[in-house]
């Protein structure tokens, strides 16, 4: 989230897209209190998105009517489930 706010305050690149430039000008016109409020809202949105994704992986949030499960794997020297212990990942998010 910090990089998103940083890019909003100071858009990167030589040819900044007009929509990003407009958002940057708007963000930079906010008072300190308004910018802090926007940071808080953006942080909560990011946390909520991650929580929802983890809840889907855990099977606690259903996204389709099919009876199936989602699994997250890392393939390297050996293939194993990232969270085989049965601990709900969304409960670990603080």
The residue ranges of every structural domain in the chain are 2-92
Residue 52 burial (CB count, 10 A) = 14
Q: Is 73 helix (H, G, I), strand (E, B) or coil?
A: strand
Helix and strand element counts for the chain (H, E): 4, 2
The burial of 51, by beta-carbon neighbours within 10 Å (0-12 exposed, 13-18 middle, 19 or more buried), is given as: middle
pLDDT, residue 39, reads 96
Average pLDDT, the chain: 86
pLDDT at 80: 60
pLDDT of residue 81: 64
Global pTM?
0.71
Give CA separation, 52 vs 27, 57, 58, 80, 82, in Å.
27, 9, 10, 23, 17
Inform me whether the pLDDT recorded for 25 exceeds 80. Answer: yes
Cα→Cα distances 23→18, 29, 31, 40, Å: 9, 10, 15, 17
């Amino acid at each position: 989230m910090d990089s998103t706010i940083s890019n909003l305050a100071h858009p990167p690149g030589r040819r900044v897209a007009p929509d990003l430039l407009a958002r940057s000008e708007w963000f930079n016109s906010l008072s300190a209190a308004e910018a802090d409020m926007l940071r808080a809202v953006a942080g909560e949105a990011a946390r909520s998105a991650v929580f929802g994704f983890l809840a889907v992986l855990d099977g606690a949030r259903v996204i389709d009517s099919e009876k199936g499960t989602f699994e997250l794997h890392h393939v390297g020297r050996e293939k194993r489930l990232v969270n085989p212990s049965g601990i709900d990942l969304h409960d670990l998010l603080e």
